Amino acid sequence: MFKHFDFYLLIFTLLIGCSKSENQACKSEKKLIACTKEYMPVCGCDNTTYSNRCIAQSEGVITWSVGVCNN
């Protein structure tokens, strides 16, 4: 019964590790950054519009494009 337990545990661990959604993969940890309040919107890789690239970076967004997101 417990003969294949290690194998199943390995498969389970791999599946959990690979189940990151695209939104999580494009973000890292939030950073404490002092940002200005200028409004130059960017669309983060998580499809969220941020008021500027500094705000996006402070939220941990790794990539973005200039302009608001198309929902």
How confident is the model over 41-59, as pLDDT tens digits?
Answer: 999 999 999 999 999 999 9
The pLDDT score that the predictor gives to residue 67 is: 97
pLDDT of residue 25: 81
Out of 3.30.450, 1.10.10, 3.30.60, 3.30.200, which CATH number does the structure's domain 3-66 have? 3.30.60
Report how far residue 18's alpha carbon sits from residue 68's, in angstroms, rounded to the nearest whole number. Answer: 30
* 16 pLDDT higher than 70: no
Place of tokens 């959604």: 21
Higher per-residue pLDDT: 10 or 55 = 55
- The rounded Cα 67 to chain-centroid distance in angstroms is 19
Q: Where are the domains of the chain?
A: 3-66
Q: Is the pTM of this model over 0.75?
A: no
Find out whether 38 and 52 touch, Cβ atoms under 8 Å: yes
Is 4 buried (19+), middle (13-18) or exposed (0-12) by CB count in 10 A?
Answer: exposed
Instruction: Tell me the average pLDDT across 30-38.
Output: 95
Taking the mean position of all CA atoms in its chain, how far away is CA 17?
15
